[in-house]
Structure 1
Amino acid sequence: MSVDNRAKKPKLPPRWFIHLAWRVHRGLYRVLGGRVVWRPRATRWGTLRLTTTGRRTGQERSVIVAYLEDGPNLFTLAMNGWGEGEPAWWLNLRAHPEATVDLVDGRRLVRGRAATGDERRRLWARWREIDTQLDAFAALRSSETAVVVLEPRPESDTSPAA
């Protein structure tokens, strides 16, 4: 009798572990100056440092997120460690769409937005190619996980996060 791993409900690590992992990742990024990050190769994902403007404080807030490339755009998932609620960075980006991303090849100015319709389905399917349990993890949340597109913006476009 075979067991289909995709049919199993995935288990998440405890929230304290997820928070610890985020802190360690941010610390390593800071100590190593962003030199140790993954870049997408074919269908592989990478990590970037996203700096947004706080929706309540107006202060810069940074987070490390996984991403894929889609032409000139980058995209990520607003998953909050697959826990309930929206991640703070996504709430900040919705309030103040202008942001910056730091990649191995330097800093880019971006504008964030949620993918919708066919674009969302296409990008979700691309992410599913590298994470076969994506749908199972997304089912743990009571709301749909946003697919966030980070589009390039001109150098002359200034904002507090730039």
Structure 2
Amino acid sequence: MARRERPARVPPRWVVTGAWRVHRAIYRVSGGRVGLWRPKPGRWGTLRLTTTGRRSGQPRSVLLGYYEDGRNLVTMAMNGWGEGEPAWWLNLLANPEAEVEVRGGTRRVRGRAAEGEERERLWARWREIDTQLDELAALRSTRTAVVVLEPL
């Protein structure tokens, strides 16, 4: 019997935000020893992005899923598939220079949205990692930015 895929469904907002809070707490309590991992074939990794707050001017950190594209790191401004843009993306738009911590080190980066053919190529790569990507993206009323973090 063939297995039917379920339609894409996002958990309630409190589950999404709760999961990321727990993840950040584990990272913080472990002193950064737990919580970041490298991407593997067919799987994304996690990184810690520190931006400058667009209003406060203070450092703001968030944990994000990513994959590598050559020297660049690629993530999505999806806000847990909820409406609106995530604060970290708005911060990057205001000040593109940021710091990224990945398993094994920290580096300075410049963030930008992928456009045109580059966006299509990077989106297709995300689709290989998450087969429900298009369905999940369709749940948002705005286009999801594919964010490229280029080393400085």
> If the length of structure 2 is used for normalisation, what is the TM-score?
0.94
After superposition, the CA RMSD in angstroms is 1.4
Q: After the TM superposition, which segments of 4 or more aligned residues of structure 1 sit over 3 Å from their partners?
A: 1-4
Alignment of 1:35-74 (within 5 A): 35-36=33-34, 37-74=36-73
Listed as ranges, the matches of 1:67-86 within 5 Å are: 67-86=66-85
Rounded to whole Å, the distance in 1 between the matches of 2:120 and 2:95 is: 25
CA separation in 1, counterparts of 2:127 and 2:113? 18
Tell me by how many angstroms 1:101 deviates. Answer: 0.5
Deviation of residue 84 (structure 1)? Answer: 0.4
**One-letter amino acid of the counterpart of residue 140, structure 2:** R
Match of 2:32 among 31, 34, 37: 34
Residue 23 of structure 2 corresponds to 25
Q: What displacement does 1:3 show?
A: 7.1
* CA positional deviation for 1:5: 2.0
Task: For residue 30 of structure 1, report the CA deviation from its aligned partner.
Answer: 0.9
Q: 1:159: which partner in 2?
A: none
Tell me the CA shift for residue 35 of structure 1.
2.1
**Which stretches in structure 2 are left out of the alignment for 5+ residues?**
none
1:19-68, Cα deviation, whole Å (9 max, x unpaired): 11111111111111222222112332100000000011101000000000
Map of 1:11 onto structure 2: 9
User: Is the CA contact (8 Å cut-off) linking 1:128 and 1:134 kept in structure 2?
Assistant: yes
- 2:37·2:102 contact (CA, 8 Å) conserved in 1? no
Tell me the matched-pair count: 151
Residue 157 of structure 1 is matched in structure 2 by none
Extract unaligned runs of 5+ from structure 1.
154-162
